[in-house]
Amino acid sequence: MSTTKEANRIAVRKYSKTTKGRHANRKSCQRYYGTIDGHLRAVYSNIVQRCCNPHDKDYHNYGGRGIKCMFYSADEFVNYVNFALKVDPRGLQVDRIDNNGNYEAGNIRFVTAGVNISNRNMRPGVGVTEHHGKWRARITIAGKEVYLGTFGTEKEGVEARKEYEQTIQR
């Protein structure tokens, strides 16, 4: 290796440690992650973390449930989104069509945050909260919260909520 190349590498390392160098590097990263490919690589990295890293805050909702990322590399994921889905994902969130399925070709799409939130599983007890030793039951319909009452036990509150849900569906 020539001494000129080595001298350039040393100069770049020194520059990157200065405030100006760190700022220039940060701006470069912002430009890259502002591109479709850069954004998709960040999305892929987040998918891998929540599916494979038990220390990730969302692991229990993904990898802990057995959901896997079936894309073997960021390049494969980027190419699938760019050429098969043909969508600009910036401003959108990745969503699995089958909520219990893996992140794989044919089972992902990009949707708005509102659509993604409406796809969440309804867990028993949601809408039933404890308040001063009693249990309040509520339900939200078309963005409006409906108060169902106060109950002595959580089970009674959940039952009231389920009954109300059934009357709505009829």
Query: Is residue 163 assigned to a domain?
Result: yes
User: Considering the domain boundaries, does residue 7 fall inside one?
Assistant: no
Q: Once rounded to an integer, what is the mean pLDDT over residues 151-159?
A: 87
What is the token pair recorded at 61?
């909702």
- From CA 82, how far away is CA 132, in angstroms rounded? 53
Same structural domain for residues 104 and 132? no
Question: Helix/strand/coil (H, E, C) string of 85-97?
Answer: HCCCCCCCEEEEC
Question: In this structure, are 57 and 106 located in the same domain?
Answer: yes
Of 37, 141, 168, the C-alpha closest to 90 is 37
Give the rounded percent of residues in the chain with a pLDDT score beyond 70.
Answer: 81
Instruction: Answer yes or no: do 51 and 100 share one domain.
Output: yes
8 part of a folded domain: no
User: CA–CA separation, 2 vs 133, rounded Å?
Assistant: 76
Residues 60, 89 within the same domain = yes
Residue 97: give the domain boundaries: 34-118
Residues 51 and 78 occupy one common structural domain: yes
- Of 133 and 46, more confident: 46
User: For 3-36, how does the pLDDT look when each residue is reduced to its tens digit (9 = 90+)?
Assistant: 787 877 776 677 667 776 666 566 555 566 678 8
Residues 47 and 106 in one domain: yes
Angle between helix 19-33 and 36-52 (nearest 10): 90
Question: What's the CA gap between 71 and 32, in Å, rounded?
Answer: 22
State the pLDDT at residue 82.
92
What tens digit of pLDDT does each residue of 34-62 get? 788 888 999 999 999 999 999 999 898 89
Count: domains in the chain: 2
Give the pLDDT of residue 124: 47
For position 123, what pLDDT does the model report? Answer: 47
**Domain match, 60 and 112 both:** yes
Q: Are 88 and 109 contained in the same domain?
A: yes
In a shared domain, residues 113 and 154: no
- The residues, ordered by sequence, that sit 6+ positions from 127 with a Cβ below 8 Å of its Cβ are 137, 138, 139, 140, 161
Residue 105 sits in the same domain as residue 75: yes
pLDDT score of 28? 58
